[in-house]
Chains A and B, each alone.
Chain A
Amino acid sequence: MSSSLTLAAGTAVQRPRRLLLALGGALIVATYLFLVIVQPAEIAGGMGSTASLVSLFGFLGGGALLVGGILPMLSTSSLVVMPLGIALNIAIGQVAGTLGLQIYLDAIGTVLVAVLAGPAAGAATGAISNAIWGLFNPFALPFAAGAALIGLLAGMAAKYGAFRRVYLAPVAGLVVGAIGGLVAAPVAVFMFGAAGTFGTNAIIAVFRSMGDKLLVAATKQGLLSDSLDKVVVFVLVALVVYALPPRAVRQFPFARAHRVLGARTGTPARSANGNDAGAA
């Protein structure tokens, strides 16, 4: 087969993928806007059947469309690291529990994959991670789109240099955590009435005792808790990737092409590597 034929076929295949990505992103944004702008009054008067359904299908459907658009464009090296990230997300939660930590650390695998393999792999890892976690803990399922967003933003932060210096990582974590908290709050409110752990509910209770609506209180709690959690996660991931042998990081085209860890990841990659980096 000639190279020109290969290129033409590749371009034709990319169109539906981009359409899936655009549809997925639009569905998630539309769902968020609908929940925040149209529905806040409803939750005070009842559980809000429409809001719950929109929350479930909008965020889950958007996440599924994103995964459908992202997966075909990922290289094998990105794919093999995704199960690792998913397993880390779940297993480290257990380790954190045995060490007596007060935060969940359930996005370490997602952020790690995003830093090594790029925003696309990070987003897919986040969404699939919550879908698989849903088999063990069904309450994780509706948060799939939020987890995808964390992976996407972490990858973007890595691409634009947030991990080239360790001290930049917590700043990126703070911003990503705040955005993640904003997106997760409506899901928590409309699906489960903002029920969470005793710690997070204590924060919501403080804001509710001041007269805040449930969505406002959950959003403020999300901004506080998720920002703190992501600051810790980003710092941990930065320390781990800097402790890795340089060849372990250089096996990832995204990390090489965008010099994610600065001089440690070597010179920018060219030619074939650009495909994966560009896709990511």
Chain B
Amino acid sequence: MPRRRIYNPLTELLAAVLLVVLVLVVNRWEFSLAVLVLVVVPAVLVSGRPRQIGLAVLLVAGPLVLSSLLLHGLFYPEGRTVLLDLGIARVTTEGLSFAAAMGLRMGVFAGVLLPAAMTLDIPELLATMTHRGWNRKLVFVVGSAIGLIPHVAMRARQITRSQQARGLVVGRGPVSRVRALLAVLTPLVIGLLVDAAERNSMLEARSFSSGVTRTSYLPDTDTVRQRGVRRAMVVAVGVFSVAWLVGPGAA
């Protein structure tokens, strides 16, 4: 069941980004672990889709963490404390701790940003951007691209199936694969360009390029208090970052 939304999407996204910034500023594995356990896990659990989001975090961050562990765990020439010598590869304490710290950082990165993005109400975010006076062209490109992604993926699947029905066989060689990709890509791009030309005419007919203020059909869910909170969060993180990096806590 989807969770009840309390904050504006812009506030939630900014909070997630600032948390990532804090993890980079503090740069200690204890803090990263604390964010992972105290913020990320509860956020995923109350997201309304814990299984789906947890799986996405694992799928996105898992391979990167594993490959980092293999790379730095086995090949870290700066390492001095050798735990296991395998000839060209050496397992060192320094390499393992570097891989673990990087893995933790990547886990936090995915764990903080993915739940925020996956529970995002995109129409509400775009409406807020319009109400706050963001560049209309940026709002159009972002909104249109997010809407197009599933459409393009579906059309690509349909074209692939059609070409396979007409005898497209993907061989093992790179030439065969590139040829198969071209057989899908060319009709896909032609169709999308025809759509884009039509959209161009429709937008011009609705005076898209004029400079007047845009109207959003969705109500403004952003409040004065949330705008104040966003500014306060940015200032607080900025002040803390400077104090941490310049002051006695500097790494």
**With A91-B156, A208-B77, A244-B190 as contacts: A128 and B67 at CB distance below 8 Å:** no
B25 touching A53, Cβ below 8 Å: yes
Residue B170 at the A interface, CB < 8 A? yes
User: Which residue of the partner chain B has the closest CB to A84?
Assistant: B192
In the complex, per-residue mask of B74-93: 1 if CB is within 8 Å of any chain A CB, else 0: 11111000000000110000
Residue A95 at the B interface, CB < 8 A? yes
In the complex, per-residue mask of A44-63: 1 if CB is within 8 Å of any chain B CB, else 0: 11110110110010000000
Residue B117 at the A interface, CB < 8 A? yes
**With A47-B98, A139-B110, A208-B77 as contacts: A192 and B148 at CB distance below 8 Å:** no
B120 touching A205, Cβ below 8 Å: no
How far apart are the CA atoms of A239 and B119 in the complex, in Å?
39
A135 touching B200, Cβ below 8 Å: no
How far apart are the CA atoms of A87 and B148 in the complex, in Å?
6
In the complex, per-residue mask of B132-168: 1 if CB is within 8 Å of any chain A CB, else 0: 0001011011101111110111001000100000000
A99 touching B177, Cβ below 8 Å: yes
B203 touching A92, Cβ below 8 Å: no
**With A76-B200, A193-B72, A198-B63 as contacts: A248 and B145 at CB distance below 8 Å:** no
A195 touching B67, Cβ below 8 Å: yes
The 8 Å CB contact of A83, one of B141, B188, B193, is B141
Residue B234 at the A interface, CB < 8 A? no
Residue B14 at the A interface, CB < 8 A? no
The 8 Å CB contact of A91, one of B65, B74, B153, is B153
Query: What band does the interface of chain B fall in when counting residues whose beta carbon is under 8 Å from A?
Result: 35 or more
**With A79-B137, A138-B109 as contacts: A49 and B24 at CB distance below 8 Å:** yes
In the complex, per-residue mask of A68-108: 1 if CB is within 8 Å of any chain B CB, else 0: 10011011110111111011101110111011110001001
B71 touching A84, Cβ below 8 Å: no
A71 touching B185, Cβ below 8 Å: no
A138 touching B113, Cβ below 8 Å: yes
A101 partner residues in chain B, CB cutoff 8 A: 177, 181
A192 touching B141, Cβ below 8 Å: no
User: Which residue of the partner chain B has the closest CB to A81?
Assistant: B196
Pick the interface stretch among B34-42, B47-55, B99-107, B220-228.
B99-107
B153 → A minimal CB distance (Å): 4
A92 partner residues in chain B, CB cutoff 8 A: 156, 181, 185
**With A139-B106, A244-B193 as contacts: A236 and B67 at CB distance below 8 Å:** no
**With A84-B196, A95-B160, A132-B145 as contacts: A201 and B71 at CB distance below 8 Å:** yes
**With A204-B71, A251-B197 as contacts: A72 and B192 at CB distance below 8 Å:** no
The 8 Å CB contact of A232, one of B21, B106, B178, B203, is B178
Secondary structure class of chain A's binding surface, majority of residues: helix
> Which of B67, B98, B245, B251 has the most C-beta atoms of chain A within 10 angstroms of its own C-beta?
B67
The 8 Å CB contact of B138, one of A67, A84, A211, A232, is A67
Among residues 1 to 57 in chain B, which have CB atoms less than 8 Å away from a CB atom of chain A? 21, 24-27
Residue A136 at the B interface, CB < 8 A? yes
How far apart are the CA atoms of A134 and B137 in the complex, in Å?
20
B181 touching A236, Cβ below 8 Å: yes
B148 touching A86, Cβ below 8 Å: yes
A88 touching B152, Cβ below 8 Å: yes
**With A95-B160, A128-B141 as contacts: A53 and B24 at CB distance below 8 Å:** yes
A88 partner residues in chain B, CB cutoff 8 A: 152, 188-189, 192
How far apart are the CA atoms of A47 and B105 in the complex, in Å?
10
How far apart are the CA atoms of A67 and B134 in the complex, in Å?
13
A84 touching B60, Cβ below 8 Å: no
How far apart are the CA atoms of A76 and B239 in the complex, in Å?
41
The 8 Å CB contact of A139, one of B109, B117, B147, is B109
- B-contacting residues of A (Cβ < 8 Å)? 44-47, 49-50, 52-53, 56, 67-68, 71-72, 74-77, 79-84, 86-88, 90-92, 94-96, 98-101, 105, 108, 112, 124, 128-129, 132, 134-139, 141, 192-198, 201, 204-205, 208-209, 211-212, 232, 236, 239-240, 243-245, 248, 251
Beyond contacts A95-B160, A239-B186, A244-B186: 15 other A-B pairs, Cβ-Cβ < 8 A, are: A47-B27, A53-B21, A53-B245, A80-B199, A91-B152, A124-B141, A134-B113, A138-B113, A138-B117, A195-B64, A208-B71, A209-B75, A244-B190, A244-B193, A251-B197
6 cross-chain CB contacts under 8 A: A49-B245, A80-B199, A83-B148, A193-B98, A195-B64, A205-B75
The 10 closest A-B pairs by CB, nearest first: A49-B27, A193-B102, A195-B68, A83-B144, A208-B75, A87-B148, A83-B145, A138-B113, A86-B145, A135-B117
